[in-house]
Amino acid sequence: MKKGSDYLAKLAQRLSGYFDVETDKILRDRKVDIFAAFRQTNEKYFFTRSIRVYGYNNYEYCIVQQLSETGQSADIAAFTGFLTELAEELVRPSAEHMSTYFTGILVSETGFSPEAVAAAQRFVYARNFAWGWRGWCDIRLILVDLGSGEVYANRKGKGVMRHYRP
């Protein structure tokens, strides 16, 4: 597990520039190796801060889990179910909520089965709140194979997968 722990340490260090990073955190009775949270508030004022025109919030959460063996489609199903439950719990739609992204990263030293990769690439979670007036939520899914150096992602995750290359 040396290669995996080195990767997790480097990833936590990279994320700490923009995210509040916690390691070995318990979420919904499940231990995750890294939980990183990013919160951004944007506001527009008219002349002074007392006359606020509008404001909106953006959130991003990265959840990293290392597998002890080769990733199977059951592992993907369990992890995506966990991410979906977490999204339902953490997202609070409001007039100022714009977007929330969950990036779930599964790391394996021994790789993933072809069925697991296919299941991950097919995974979709996108939700609009009040037809987008109260924001939206998307889940990105990334699989990192430390043995071969390959990274796999679902459609939403393809835009950020280069940041997770070992």
Following DSSP, what letter does each residue of 78-107 receive, concatenated? Answer: HHHHHHHHHHHHH----TTEEEEEEEEEEE
Give the per-residue pLDDT at 80. 94
Give the per-residue pLDDT at 133. 60
Q: Which of 137, 142, 131 is nearest to 63 (CA)?
A: 142
Q: Please, what are the domains in the chain?
A: 2-41+54-145 (3.40.1350.10)
SS3 content of the chain, % helix, strand, coil (to 5): 30, 45, 25
Which phi-psi region, left, alpha or beta, contains residue 73 (left: φ > 0; alpha: ψ -120 to 50)?
alpha
Check residue 111 and report its DSSP letter.
-
Give the per-residue pLDDT at 1. 46
Give the per-residue pLDDT at 145. 93
> Is 0.75 topped by the overall pTM?
yes
Give the per-residue pLDDT at 56. 67
The stretches in the chain having pLDDT less than 50 are 1
Give the per-residue pLDDT at 71. 87
For residues 133 and 97, is the Cβ–Cβ distance under 8 A? no
Q: Which residue has the tokens 């404001």?
A: 55
